[in-house]
Amino acid sequence: MDRSAQAYWSTVIKLLTKVLVVWFIVSYGCGILLAPALNNIHLGGYPLGFWFAQQGSIYVFVFLIFYYARKMGQIDEEFDVHED
């Protein structure tokens, strides 16, 4: 592989790592591990830990999809591998 391809894949792997870390923190951390602590805060009448486990994580996941798509478009244009 040439340097350009290596730089492209390195950038893509860094983006994937960031997205997966956020996904893990929100789903496992806020929804399970930190739920007892978050349950002291209420959002819309429900404990925040419950809200994250049921709905908050879904909102974050949808945001991550759009973020990933936008960033991949930018990376593809930067390395000139974008679709016309």
Give residue-wise pLDDT tens across range 30-60.
878 888 888 899 888 888 888 878 888 899 9
Tell me if 48 is assigned to some domain. yes
Tell me phi and psi for residue 12, to 5 degrees.
Answer: -65, -40
DSSP code, position 41:
S
CA–CA separation, 69 and 64 (whole Å): 8
Q: Average pLDDT of the chain?
A: 90
The total domain count for the chain is: 1
CA–CA separation, 71 and 61 (whole Å): 15
Can you give the residue range of the structural domain that contains 40?
Answer: 3-78
pLDDT for position 30: 80
pLDDT for position 71: 97
Tell me if 84 is assigned to some domain. no
Tell me if 83 is assigned to some domain. no
Tell me if 50 is assigned to some domain. yes
Tell me if 44 is assigned to some domain. yes
